[in-house]
């Protein structure tokens, strides 16, 4: 599968099969995150793979009861510390962790796995469940597993609606 194919075939998966993710595949997904670029190459992140069934259940509670979290065999958590604003004004933690999560999603797609980037979670509960230090920010959470659904592709705006050359139009 090419990167273009992974980008075009990736979908948000909310139903998972009762099948464990092989450790080799999980490690490849995590390695993709590790290899992502970061501001000034600081790599101030941690990637937590939650596989313990009781912890996954607790993560479902921390993710506002979203069923897909409890259904998937793995929950991935991306967090980082030493946040600061980059010269452009953006949070380096949010940007760095978002790039890493995107790399994981594309790697998972290539491996036949599904993910769903969650924005609905209680950061304090996630920290409590996983023992994440107070100085870390939880940026993203995603279930990971084999899809038990084939969602239709979501419509995308036309290229010329979202792309400009040389100036904003």
For the stretch 22-50, pLDDT in tens is 999 999 999 999 999 999 999 999 999 99
Nearest to 87 by CA among 144, 42, 39: 39
Contacts of 53 (CB under 8 A, 6+ apart): none
Q: Structural domain tally of the chain?
A: 1
Mean pLDDT value across residues 1-8: 93
Q: CB within 8 A of 40, min separation 6: which ones? A: 92
Question: Does residue 167 fall inside a structural domain?
Answer: no
The stretch 137-162 carries a mean pLDDT of 96
Q: Report yes or no on 120 lying in a domain.
A: yes
How does pLDDT run across 49-78, given as a tens digit for each residue?
999 999 999 999 999 999 999 999 999 999
Q: CA-CA distance, 145 to 22, in Å (whole number)?
A: 10
Q: Is the dihedral of CA 119, 67, 79, 99 positive or negative?
A: negative
Residue 23 lies in a domain: yes
pLDDT at site 99: 98
pLDDT at res. 119: 92
- Is residue 145 pLDDT above 90, yes or no? yes
Condensed to tens digits (0 to 9), the pLDDT of residues 80-132 reads 999 999 999 999 999 999 999 999 999 999 999 999 999 999 999 999 999 99
Q: Within a domain: residue 169? A: no
Position 23 scores a pLDDT of: 98
108 domain-assigned: yes
Q: State the alpha helices, DSSP H only, in 12-111.
A: 23-34, 53-62, 67-71, 92-110
Residue 106 domain flag: yes
Residue 164 has pLDDT above 90, yes or no: yes
Residue 168 lies in a domain: no
The whole-model pTM stands at 0.95
Indicate the average pLDDT of the chain.
96
Within-domain flag for 20: yes
CATH of residue 148's domain is: 3.40.109.10
pLDDT band, residue 169 (cuts 50/70/90): confident
Residue 104 lies in domain = 3-162
């Amino acid at each position: 599968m090419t990167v273009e194919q992974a980008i075009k075939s990736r979908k948000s998966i909310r139903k998972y099969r009762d099948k464990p993710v092989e450790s080799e595949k999980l490690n490849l997904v995590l390695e993709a995150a590790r290899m992502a670029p970061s501001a000034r190459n600081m790599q101030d992140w941690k990637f937590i793979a939650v596989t313990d069934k009781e912890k996954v259940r607790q993560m479902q509670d921390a993710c506002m009861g979203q069923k897909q979290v409890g259904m998937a065999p793995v929950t991935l958590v991306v967090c980082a510390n030493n946040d600061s604003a980059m010269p452009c004004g953006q949070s380096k933690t949010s940007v760095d962790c978002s790039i890493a999560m995107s790399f994981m999603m594309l790697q998972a797609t290539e491996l036949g796995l599904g993910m769903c980037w969650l924005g609905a979670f209680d950061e304090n509960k996630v920290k409590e469940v996983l023992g994440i230090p107070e100085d870390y920010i939880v940026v993203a959470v995603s279930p990971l597993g084999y899809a038990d659904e084939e969602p239709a592709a979501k419509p995308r705006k036309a290229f010329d609606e979202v792309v400009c050359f040389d100036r904003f139009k």
